[in-house]
Homo-oligomer: A and B are copies of this chain.
Amino acid sequence: MTTHHPTDVIEPDDEHLLAEPAEDVELSSAQLDVEALKQWQLGRWAEIRQEARELAAQEELIKIEGLPMAEHRERVLQQLQILVDANAVHRAFPSELGGNNDPGGNIAGFTELVIADPSLQIKAGVQWGLFGAAVLHLGTESHHRRFLPGIMDLSVPGAFAMTEIGHGSDVSAIGTTATYDPQTQEFVLHTPFRAATKEYLGNAALHGKDAVVFAQLITQGVNHGVHCFYAHLRDDQGNMLPGVRSEDDGLKGGLNGIDNGRLAFDQVRIPRDYLLNRYADVAEDGTYSSDIASPGRRFFTMLGTLVQGRVSLDGSSVVAAKIGLAAALRYAEQRRQFTTDSDIEEQLLLDYQLHQKRLLPRLAKTIAMGFAHEELLTKFHEVFSGENDTDENRQDLETMAAALKPQSTWHALDTLQEAREACGGAGFMAENRFASLRADLDIYVTFEGDNNVLLQLVAKRLLGDFADEFKTFNFGTISKFVAGHAREAVYYRSGLSRWMQAVADTGSERKSANWFKNDDVQHGLLSSRVETMVNAVGSKLMTVAKADPATQARTFNQNQVELIEMAKAHADLITWEAFTRALERLPQSAGEETVQVLRWVRDLYALTVIEENLDWYLMNGRISVNRARTLGSYINRLLHRIRPFTQELVDSFGLEDRHLRSTVATNAESVRQQEAAEYYRQLRASADAPVAEKSLKKK
């Protein structure tokens, strides 16, 4: 029996593909325009990034490996003050308060701080990106006037008290209450049981003087859901205020420069105007009011500021991956191991096919994710600067952040690990930073939105675009997370039509392995995967669109794995699109060769993603068996083509030795090899050079 698929029409005469001469010029002797590539990747906020890198290279800001936790925490607190003094952390705040009204530039600078020490970065994120941002975005003018100056100049370090022991991803279910008492015109903050203790909060264990606290707002006998309150934790001597209890989380898998801890409140009274009241308020008599009628929508509006953290982690992960790759690839260009013959020089690691396959696709992904981040950051800037703050753009921003942050944070861990392994034992030494960076970034995959929860939000949004029914569908696990609303799914439909054109194409392309390098083919393959999955899962879920919530949730759960895959496929697609758009921005003045090599890198990104999901493409008839068989060798050919330019690509990251701070990234290995080679040269020239037993036997 045979299989029939409507799309399985392209059947190249693949047997000849490998013998076919490459039609692209071989460029191994060309030189790339590294400076053009660098500016291209630094993007819109190049200047701020460069400034931040200057800062991040300063001795007093860099991580000291192995510092005991207590000293590391103290050092990072002092580093935050250095950032304040350098004017490095106020860009997002309004100019009237001493900021720059530049939310995009703020994140651009912030992401580069990962170079210095992820603890420093995240503690800065807690202070200004979460604690300060909550006051800015959820508070009103009087809060800004009263609280922001101290937050900005770090005289008031603070915690962002949202997560509880019992509830992380499902914020709406937190247990802390803020009950309004009209007698005294105060809210009573209270932790009613152990699981409602605030948990994992930076600044909570030691340094936090104040906090923003998320709690169920109860007034006049009604629970209006989660709202954000300002609260004092410690006096100026650092003593806990009455009713506030703090516990230290102690040692963690990484980020030990941050004093994470727990906070609990025992009937702590705060003034009525400590409610950050931009979206809702309580009058003196306890009357609740809000411009946003729907409690769900109100909740998600208030949580909207969280997107900043996701955007930041996405960008930081790309920077961290670049550090790891730069070090491992510089080493691979120097380190030699094994030879075919004792008279022949040993082979460079990077000339091994396996080594190329381990590192170059990750290089391509990292560059691709850099451009995806640039688009995400631009969208973030549009929304938060007010340039284009529409509901739709805000929702696109949230979906995009939810799609990219999981992919890039996982990618950073994967890349740092592969880079460490690619350097063998040297990769394990603290002086080469791989393990340290990886340990610090580990938590990025589950904080500011657990990756798998975020991907479900993406899936929900994709389904919402697929059919109106899903706007009210009970998604169970994530039902309360995002208020999805209608939008035409123009995107995928247009993707499909372009793809249909690509596969229907006839003529010379048919018989060529070069099919895979066609933009339309790549886009068609990536977009049809999303579209097909949305259709498939959507159709399955549609069968229960009228069922009770429990049935809907159960059906959702039975397709959860596929929903996650669908969301990842979406992230892959928008990453590819961002890279492809970026190619158009690469100045022609960089020269043809540079453009060509970067197109190969983009192709390598696309084909790596397609190879990772090749079973899907085969099962869904999107790639024929014969075509699929050529993919591996086509990728190997790309690796071979890109390999001569690896060093220039790495240089184009613009990361200098003072940023990498990694011995394997220096020329130490080359120097040692030269010394060894010189020893053997002199030995061979001398009279008393020993003869190898092996060569004696041959004679």
Instruction: Using CB atoms and an 8 Å cutoff, list the residues of chain A in contact with chain B.
Output: 1-5, 8-9, 11, 65-66, 68-69, 163, 165-170, 173, 175, 192-196, 199-200, 216, 218, 221-225, 249-254, 288, 295-296, 337-341, 344, 346-347, 351-354, 357, 413, 417, 420-421, 424-425, 427-431, 434-436, 438-439, 442-443, 445-447, 450-452, 474, 476-480, 549-550, 552-553, 557-562, 564, 611, 614-615, 618-619, 621, 624-626, 628-629, 632, 636, 672-673, 675-676, 679, 688, 690-694, 696-697
CB distance from A165 to the nearest CB of B (A): 7
C-alpha gap A351/B691 in the complex (Å): 68
Q: Which residue of B lies closest to A225 (CB)?
A: B693
- With A338-B480, A619-B628 already in contact, 13 other A-B pairs whose C-beta atoms are closer than 8 Å: A2-B2, A3-B625, A249-B429, A251-B431, A253-B439, A295-B693, A295-B697, A340-B550, A340-B552, A344-B550, A424-B450, A562-B632, A621-B625
Q: Least Cβ distance of A229 to chain B in Å?
A: 16
- Asked whether, in the complex, the Cβ of B557 is within 8 Å of the Cβ of A624, the reply is no
Give the complex CA separation of A268 and B250 in angstroms: 48
Pick the residue among B430, B559, B673 that contacts A251 (CB under 8 A): B430
Closest B-chain residue to A430, C-beta based?
Answer: B251
Report whether B221 and A690 are in contact in the complex, using a CB–CB cutoff of 8 Å.
Answer: yes
A675-B193 in contact (CB<8A)? yes
In the assembly, what is the distance between CA of A676 and CA of B249, in Å?
A: 21
Residue pair B9, A221 in contact (C-beta under 8 Å): no
- For the complex, give the distance between the alpha carbons of A692 and B344 in Å: 78
Task: Let me know if B693 and A346 touch, CB within 8 A.
Answer: no
Question: With A428-B253, A435-B254, A618-B615 given, is the CB distance from A4 to B2 under 8 Å?
Answer: yes
Contact between chains at A676 and B193 (CB < 8 Å): yes
* Inter-chain contacts of A221 with B (CB < 8 A): 688, 690-691
A109–chain B nearest beta-carbon distance, Å: 26
Known contacts A193-B672, A221-B688, A340-B476; A629 and B625 CB within 8 A of each other:
no
Q: Would you call B195 and A673 a contact (CB within 8 A)?
A: yes
Q: Are A193 and B679 in contact, CB atoms less than 8 angstroms apart?
A: yes
Q: Are A340 and B253 in contact (CB under 8 A)?
A: no
Cβ-defined contact, A169 with B691, below 8 A: no
In the complex, the answer to whether A672 meets B338 with C-beta atoms within 8 Å is no
Bound CA span A354–B477, Å: 11
Instruction: Give Cα distance in the complex from A65 to B221, angstroms.
Output: 47
Q: Which residue of chain B has its CB nearest to the CB of A219? A: B690
Q: Taking A624-B3, A690-B218 as contacts, is the C-beta distance between A337 and B168 under 8 angstroms?
A: yes
